[in-house]
Amino acid sequence: MKLRTIAIDDEPLAIRLVCDYISKTPFLELAGSFDNPLDAIDFLSTQTADLIFVDIQMPDLTGIEFIRTLEEGPKIVFTTAYEKYALEGFKLNAIDYLLKPFSYEEFLIAAGKARKQAELEANAVTSIEANNQFLFLKSEYKIRRINFNDILYIEGLKDYIKVYVSGEIKPIISLNSIKSLEQKLPETGFMRVHRSFIVNLNRIEIIENNRIVFGKTYIPISDLHKEKFQEYLDKNFL
């Protein structure tokens, strides 16, 4: 497994070093480098990245502010000369935190953590080829078969997903990313309506104040997904 990786740092020497480290690491692929986080946002609007090495202290937009703008955040490793930002970085679920100047060994350890997490996520969801009826999901040391028709909605929470299934009181929890699971779902029938939620369109019964209602749960429809969801409603509106 190769991870598409980008580097963001406003210091020329620092970004050159990170890019060199990325290039010499067999399981990393350098997809881009940027001295301005705004350029990285533009890149990510049309391209994908599995891993981002990003400096924290930058003009216009800090690395922490940049991460908060991401709709579906890739794995993050912060690079900075200031140790005081470590706690805030980890609150954003960063894979690691590299204090400048850092060696290739330290870089490799951080990259290895990202690869291990990506492999865990890739193995967490297993679907049968050309199957549109169900998938197998690893949860609590078991493998559960989940019929697509039974899924109400899916919630993404840091490194975990919660799958809410009709007839079950508690959600099925699995180590995974919502993005990874989204790729396994049928193209029709499910829709991402928020960075943290995917809904089964066939299970929607009530929409209230731009929120989808499942019992006592109100799922917001974010601005990013509002247009697509409205198109779905327009096609099925009487």
Q: Tens digit of pLDDT for each residue in 43-78?
A: 988 888 999 999 988 888 888 888 888 866 688 999
What's the CA gap between 69 and 138, in Å, rounded?
30
What is the average pLDDT value for the chain, to the nearest integer?
87
Q: What dihedral angle (degrees, nearest 10) is formed by the CA atoms of 18, 24, 27, 29?
A: 60
Please give the pLDDT value at position 23: 96
Please give the pLDDT value at position 181: 86
Q: Phi/psi class of residue 43: alpha, beta or left (left: φ > 0; alpha: ψ in -120 to 50)? A: alpha
Max avg pLDDT among 15-24, 83-92, 132-141, 152-161: 15-24
pTM exceeds 0.85, yes or no: no
Is residue 91 pLDDT above 80, yes or no?
Answer: no
What's the CA gap between 144 and 135, in Å, rounded?
8
* The two three-digit tokens of residue 79, written as one number: 């690079």
Tell me yes or no: is domain 3-124 CATH 3.40.50.970.
no
The residue with greater pLDDT, 180 or 222, is 222
Each domain of the chain, given as residue ranges in start order, spans 3-124, 130-235
Pick the closest to residue 54 from 41, 208, 193 (CA basis).
Answer: 41
Max avg pLDDT among 80-89, 124-133, 141-150, 162-171: 162-171
User: 3-124 with 130-235: one CATH topology?
Assistant: no
The residue with greater pLDDT, 176 or 216, is 216
Is residue 139 pLDDT above 90, yes or no?
Answer: no
Pick the closest to residue 45 from 19, 8, 7, 71 (CA basis).
Answer: 71
Model confidence at 20, in pLDDT bands (50, 70, 90)?
Answer: very high
130-235, which class in CATH?
mainly beta
